[in-house]
Amino acid sequence: MPGIYHVNTRGNDGAKTFRDVWDFAGFFTIFEEASPTFKNRFMFMANYTDEAAFDKFIKGFDLRKKVGNLTCPYLVVGGDLDELSPIKHTYELSRHVPGPVELIIYQNERHAPGRAPSAQFGPHWYSTMADWLAARVRDQKPLEKNRFLFVRSSGQVEERAMP
């Protein structure tokens, strides 16, 4: 089950809104096996101080039910070997987004891109996100269609059918 959660909204009106959503599959891995700071930060963002109450809240949380109202462009930059949010969950979540979706997935990369050859030889992930956001917000260039870009270990970028 895809989960939450990092939603940032920037801009003053619907036409200039950008949302960056990171999903975590089922929350068990991210909250119980990863760094304890993950759970602490999510509790803070959700305004929980009691861990048992937060666990009850998050158990029924399903981001697939939330993204159906997302109309602004949705960008996912990630790795196909993400240990915290398996790529199959990212693909599933993106199918529930009605607005335009762009997936940029780096081959043999984990949760935080940057170390694998695909991230070293391909487009720099951070610059790619900045350029994408600038095109949407500053230039007001709409994302016209769904797009899936796969960055191979050689750095070559392939446009593929949406998963």
- Strand order of the β-sheet with 147-151 is 9-10, 18-19, 74-79, 101-106, 147-151, 157-160
What pLDDT was estimated at residue 122?
97
* Phi-psi region at 155: left, alpha or beta (left = phi > 0; alpha = psi -120 to 50): left
Per the domain annotation, does 4 fall within a domain?
no
Residues of the chain with pLDDT > 70, as a percent, come to 84
Residue among 122, 94, 95, 114 at smallest CA distance from 19:
94
User: Taking residues 48-77, what's their average pLDDT?
Assistant: 88
HEC assignment per residue over 16-50: HCEECCCCCCCCHHHHHHCCHHHHHHHHHHCCCCC
Strand partners, 10: 18
The answer to the question of residue 2 being in a domain is no
Q: What would the pLDDT profile of 3-40 be if each residue is shown by its tens digit?
A: 333 333 333 333 323 333 344 445 777 787 778 888 89
In a domain? residue 17: yes
Q: What would the mean pLDDT of 35-62 be, rounded to a whole number?
A: 88
Please list the alpha-helical segments (H only) found in the chain. Answer: 28, 36-45, 51-59, 87-95, 117-121, 125-137
Residue 47 lies inside a defined structural domain of this protein: yes
| pTM, to two decimals | 0.78
- State how beta strands 157-160 and 147-151 pair: antiparallel
Question: Within a domain: residue 128?
Answer: yes
Taking residues 113-123, what's their average pLDDT? 95
Number of structural domains found in the chain: 1
Other CB atoms within 10 Å distance of the CB of residue 75: 20
Residue 1 lies in a domain: no
Residue at 54 is within a domain:
yes
Domain range for 46: 9-160
Q: Is residue 3 part of a domain?
A: no
Integer CA distances (angstroms), 151 to 68, 80, 86, 95, 158, in order: 28, 10, 17, 20, 6
